[in-house]
Structure 1
Amino acid sequence: MDQNSQQKSLHIGLVGAGIGGLAAAIAIRLAGAEVTVLEAASELGEIGAGIQMTPNVSRLLIKWGIADIIGDNLVEVEEFNLRQQDGTKVGYTKMVPDMKKDLGHPYGTTLLSLNLQLMRDRWWVVHRAHLHSGLVEVAQSLGVKLLINSRVNSLDYSRKGPVTVTTEARNRHVFDLLIGSDGVNSVVRRTLFPDVRPTPPSTNSAYRAIVPYSRILKDPIAKTLIEKPTMEVWLSEKAYIITYPISGCKDLNLVLSHHTDNLVYNVEDVAVEDLRKQFEGYDLKIKRVIDMIPETQRWPLLVTALESWSSPEKNVVLMGDAAHSMVNHMAQGAATAMEDGAFIGRCIAEVVQNRLTLTQAVEIYEKERMPKARAKQHISFLNGAIWHLPAGPKQEARDGAMKEEMSGKKLSRSPNLYSDPRMLEQVYGYDAEQHADEAVRTFLQRREGVIDT
């Protein structure tokens, strides 16, 4: 009997063709399962602006060939600068690691190994549309079925075994496993957990905008911001601005975090004059760029908290924002969704090879990924608190603790989480596929009595 005849035939369905859903589709297809993605929209695409592809997921873009497709539209960031509201630099991270300095660091061996990995995996920024297009191209080349105009109307998952999905167009699909990758307003999550509602944890929300380089270059003051591809952050009480280049350094992406008088649950149209007034007192360089913003929207920062991600029969499971939406202060929302997809793909591979059941694969995924997602939610809260500090002793202590980084010295701990060694290891050095392989191996060893439970 050949190897293929020993493999289990699986048809996995995903609801939602966003970044996380497409990453999962690619990983599961590579695992050997048939994959169908149901997308509600009438065409494939991604709204929004820029997105950070940090090393924990840039490795997936490289491995899956997506980086080659996106090409020059991926921008590698050279440095990260934290500034006070007036532009005074208070924090610094060199995005390309310095190996010689790492050797002399208290965490030298760990940092050297980690930074060798980070150099391979890159720190990219990209327009969401370019990332999404690359994911679509790879998914389709692998044989993933992407069905548009397929808004899900109902699920029948009450019995152990296959799940039946009915769309608004009355089309029926039957899957061995259904994955809800349909974002913060997930139909799948509402079906499983109707009492759960993603909630803004505070009055914090964010403006998003894009300004063309061609316009910035005409301003003698503003153009100094784009002399090289850097990520810049201006910090102030209850607000900050972050900028970085996208689209092959043709556009500058801006995210302007701020607080409002009320909780924000949905994307809101905002008069651009209100945005400009809110950031009136900032560094002239960034203020000149803000004055170039033609229009903007206010985006909510919603957090989803669940005790389980799956149906009782483990034939429906959630991922990405459907399971664990988070505030944006560490730029890990989409990255965490991609990690989910890569992880569950490796678990599905073991089902295809008849080493796990689908139920066991889902249980391993939940057990291992839920704590990781919660940790990302907490770290994102933490960085938001650090970046939103009011003027005073705490802000002075934060800036003082980062002072030595300005001269290139690496610290054992830093309030600049983009260079803190523990954050580098926990967040940016994380390998979802390796984690999945280790978790499966441990499960199999325990089942076979090789190690104690």
Structure 2
Amino acid sequence: MANQHIHVGIIGAGIGGLAAAISFRRAGVDVTILEAADELLEIGAGIQMTPNVSVLLQKWGVADVIGDNLVQIEELNMRRKDGTLVGHTEIPIIERALGRPWWLVHRAHLHQGLAAVATQLGAAIHINSRVVSLEYQEGSEVTLETQKGDTYHFDLCVGADGVNSIVRSTLFPDIKPDAKTTNCAYRAIIPYDLIRQDPIAKELIQKLTMEVWMGHNAYIITYPISGGETFNLVLSHHRPEKVYSTQTNVSIKEMRDVYKEFDPRIKRIVDMITETSRWPLLVTGPLQSWSSPQKNVVLMGDAAHSMVNHMAQGAATSMEDGAFLAKCVGAVTHGKLSLREAINLYELERMPKAFMKQQVSFLNGAIWHLPDGPKQQARDAAMAPSLEGKYLVRSSNLYDDPQTVLDIYGYDVEAHAEQALARFVHGREAVYPGTGIAPYIEDKYMGWFSKCRPNDRYSGAGKL
């Protein structure tokens, strides 16, 4: 099969779209991004770059651009809503086991870093370019038109345009993201300097930690962002009705009332919030396909599989999609497979992974929202050994449950793509001569501890 020149058009310059652009450029694929907004920015507050994607930020050089705005926490504390400690995780232990940092960052800083690297690598980004029509046929280029009347032609169109995706609505007009329950979330940030002035609340910021307060139909998760200068809060709660769009100017009193019986320390910080928005938690799919029949239009990220936020995997899964898809399309440019085969492989491998994370994310929310009673007591008992530093084979705290940590946070999307490509091209896994051991199996069972690793914590951006 001959080498091919591929020009990819990415619709949407959010976190997923920019991550995909970086991956495509690293794979030698030409990229043009069409972004509807009239400036490149990211709304929202904090975001977790868990180890499955922090490693990508390191490889791509994005971590070096973000620099000190990446924050590492010392520990995670799981609490009942009254502040009773029921679980504890030493985050450095997870980082050392996986060989990757666990970072917290403001979405704006992450977005700026991704945009800078994508631009440096040669991705063309066009703002104020809302796509209004998309035409695709077998054996021809995909044609896009923007609201300004500009026309673009691409070999492959990637819909990275979020839950309200124009690309998805074109491919699958009957698919609508759904609020599976009445669960939604407030988001807010508070300066650390303000918290330090409160004699009760300041106890929570003596160290850089992530804290989770679990209550019936409401929880709070907090962590530092912006170089440790800002305290990020996500306040999960249930409403009488389902929420389908972001609501601004919500009642502060109403928000405070939801958490009035929580730990006085976190309640004092909640009472510092002067304005907030209520965010919907919309789920898309699982879809039967992420692509056009011609395999020249494909979805990724929230456009394909939006999920609830309880495992911090929405943006992370989008970034994984982009990295995997770029590996597949990169193989097309080298004549190893056709574009149709590349998209088929991407769907075959990534769709089950995304669906698994949608389910785990939903279940973690259920775990954190349990009412007082037998299930809540069983949850607390299952994570209690961690308070004494005892070894856990399983834990109801999915942030340090060994199985979940390895399946989600220990996942290596680029290695997965290379394995899948090797199976497709050669009909089997690549193995070492003599031993017959596949590299990823060796790394899974031996390489993780035998590789040279630094003794210090991942204190600097881009260090591994």
Task: Give TM-score scaled by structure 2 length.
Answer: 0.90
Q: 1:352 aligns with which of 333, 338, 358?
A: 333
Distance 1:357 1:53, change over 3 A: same
SS in 1 for 2:232: strand
Q: 1:260 aligns with which of 239, 255, 259?
A: 239
- Which residue of structure 1 aligns with residue 251 of structure 2? 271
Whether 1:290 and 2:283 are equivalent positions in the alignment is no
Question: In the aligned structure 1, how far is the partner of 2:341 from the partner of 2:25?
Answer: 19
- Which residue of structure 2 aligns with residue 224 of structure 1? 203
- Which residue of structure 2 aligns with residue 29 of structure 1? 25
Question: In the aligned structure 1, how far is the partner of 2:257 from the partner of 2:401?
Answer: 34
SS in 2 for 1:248: helix
Map 1:202-213 to 2 at 5 A: 202-213=181-192
- Which residue of structure 2 aligns with residue 442 of structure 1? 423
Question: In the aligned structure 2, how far is the partner of 1:291 from the partner of 1:153?
Answer: 43
The Cα of 1:161 is off from its aligned counterpart by 2.9
- Which residue of structure 2 aligns with residue 407 of structure 1? 388
Q: Which amino acid aligns with 2:323?
A: A
Question: In the aligned structure 2, how far is the partner of 1:246 from the partner of 1:69?
Answer: 16
Q: Which amino acid aligns with 1:443?
A: F
Whether 1:92 and 2:88 are equivalent positions in the alignment is yes
- Which residue of structure 1 aligns with residue 460 of structure 2? none
SS in 2 for 1:266: coil
Q: Which amino acid aligns with 1:233?
A: V
SS in 2 for 1:96: helix
Q: 2:410 aligns with which of 429, 434, 444?
A: 429
The Cα of 1:79 is off from its aligned counterpart by 0.8
Q: Is the 8 A contact 1:304 1:325 kept in 2?
A: yes
Whether 1:63 and 2:43 are equivalent positions in the alignment is no
Runs of at least 5 residues in structure 1 that lack an aligned partner in the other structure: 1-5, 99-114
Map 1:327-406 to 2 at 5 A: 327-406=308-387
- Kindly provide the CA deviation profile for residues 111-151 of structure 1, in whole angstroms up to 9, marking residues without a partner as x: xxxx6452x31000000000000000000000000000100
- Which residue of structure 2 aligns with residue 302 of structure 1? 282
SS in 1 for 2:342: helix
- Which residue of structure 2 aligns with residue 102 of structure 1? none
- Which residue of structure 1 aligns with residue 296 of structure 2? 315
Q: Which amino acid aligns with 2:363?
A: L
SS in 2 for 1:29: helix
Distance 1:231 1:447, change over 3 A: closer
The Cα of 1:158 is off from its aligned counterpart by 2.6
Question: In the aligned structure 1, how far is the partner of 2:157 from the partner of 2:308?
Answer: 26
Map 1:36-47 to 2 at 5 A: 36-47=32-43
Q: Which amino acid aligns with 1:137?
A: A
The Cα of 1:410 is off from its aligned counterpart by 2.3
- Which residue of structure 2 aligns with residue 251 of structure 1? 230
SS in 2 for 1:268: coil
- Kindly provide the CA deviation profile for residues 164-190 of structure 1, in whole angstroms up to 9, marking residues without a partner as x: 111111101000000000001100000
SS in 1 for 2:211: strand
- Kindly provide the CA deviation profile for residues 85-129 of structure 1, in whole angstroms up to 9, marking residues without a partner as x: 11010011110117xxxxxxxxxxxxxxxx6452x3100000000
Whether 1:49 and 2:29 are equivalent positions in the alignment is no
- Kindly provide the CA deviation profile for residues 248-301 of structure 1, in whole angstroms up to 9, marking residues without a partner as x: 011000000000000100001211111011110110100000010010111000
- Which residue of structure 2 aligns with residue 108 of structure 1? none
Question: In the aligned structure 2, how far is the partner of 1:89 from the partner of 1:72?
Answer: 30
The Cα of 1:409 is off from its aligned counterpart by 1.4
The Cα of 1:352 is off from its aligned counterpart by 1.3
Whether 1:20 and 2:48 are equivalent positions in the alignment is no
Q: Is the 8 A contact 1:62 1:121 kept in 2?
A: no
Whether 1:163 and 2:142 are equivalent positions in the alignment is yes
Moved more, 220-229 or 203-212: 220-229
- Kindly provide the CA deviation profile for residues 325-362 of structure 1, in whole angstroms up to 9, marking residues without a partner as x: 00111010000000001111111111111111111111
Question: In the aligned structure 1, how far is the partner of 2:357 from the partner of 2:137?
Answer: 32
Map 1:107-122 to 2 at 5 A: 116=96, 118=98, 120-122=99-101
- Which residue of structure 1 aligns with residue 437 of structure 2? none
Q: Which amino acid aligns with 1:294?
A: T
List, as ranges, runs of 4+ consecutive aligned residues in structure 1 with deviation greater than 4 Å.
none
The Cα of 1:221 is off from its aligned counterpart by 1.1
The Cα of 1:242 is off from its aligned counterpart by 0.2
- Which residue of structure 2 aligns with residue 147 of structure 1? 126
SS in 2 for 1:154: strand
Map 1:119-198 to 2 at 5 A: 120-198=99-177
Whether 1:281 and 2:265 are equivalent positions in the alignment is no
The Cα of 1:213 is off from its aligned counterpart by 0.6
Between the two proteins, what is the percent identity of the paired residues?
A: 60
Q: Is the 8 A contact 2:218 2:258 kept in 1?
A: no
Question: In the aligned structure 1, how far is the partner of 2:54 from the partner of 2:427?
Answer: 33
- Kindly provide the CA deviation profile for residues 173-210 of structure 1, in whole angstroms up to 9, marking residues without a partner as x: 00000000000110000000000000000000000000
The Cα of 1:428 is off from its aligned counterpart by 0.2
Q: Which amino acid aligns with 1:175?
A: F
Distance 1:447 1:116, change over 3 A: closer
SS in 2 for 1:13: strand
Count of residues in correspondence between the two structures: 427
Question: In the aligned structure 2, how far is the partner of 1:128 from the partner of 1:264?
Answer: 23
Question: In the aligned structure 2, how far is the partner of 1:137 from the partner of 1:307?
Answer: 35
Question: In the aligned structure 2, how far is the partner of 1:209 from the partner of 1:281?
Answer: 19
Task: Give TM-score scaled by structure 1 length.
Answer: 0.93
